[in-house]
Structure 1
Amino acid sequence: MFQDSPIYDRLIAERGDIPTQVRREAERVSREMEFVMQPGPPLGGAPAPGRPAPPAPAWQRSALPPGQLPG
């Protein structure tokens, strides 16, 4: 892009090739995001094949209606 510019060459010599560093970092972050965003098994998902599902709990907590305190 600016390879034939003496000012650009001097800036690279003084500060490093910041555009190239930023591009590499953006590519790295993009690869990491692609990996993280890949679909996978749901958390706490279905049991493994061949294993029975755990029994359902015998009780469940339920929310109180507004303004009521447990007695």
Structure 2
Amino acid sequence: MNSDSDVPIYAQLIRERGDVPGDVRREAEQIQRNLERVIMPFRPNLPAPGYFR
């Protein structure tokens, strides 16, 4: 039995096409970090940005 028959199909696909799910996950994490910097979490003691009395 050769080593190729022991390797799951996804390992072969990653070798052939690259780690697409991993690339997408890393890109999504980067987008999330960027959004967290732009859209600050709600702070109950502060007025919303742009709010004027």
TM-score, normalized by the shorter chain, greater than 0.5? yes
Q: Give distance in 1, aligned partners of 2:12 and 2:29.
A: 26
Tell me: higher relative CO, structure 1 or 2? Use CA pairs within 8 A at least 6 residues apart: 2
C-alpha RMSD of the superposition? 2.4
* Corresponding residue of 2:24: 22
Q: Structure 2 length as normaliser, TM-score?
A: 0.59
Secondary structure of 2:21's aligned partner = helix
Choose 1 or 2 for highest CA Rg: 1
Q: Give distance in 2, aligned partners of 1:36 and 1:25.
A: 17
Unaligned runs of 5+ in 1: 46-71
Q: Give distance in 2, aligned partners of 1:5 and 1:22.
A: 23
Q: Give distance in 2, aligned partners of 1:5 and 1:18.
A: 18
CA separation of 1:5/1:19 partners in 2, compared to 1, >3 Å: closer, same or farther?
A: farther
Structure 1 stretches of 4+ moved >3 Å: 39-42
- Total equivalences in the alignment: 40
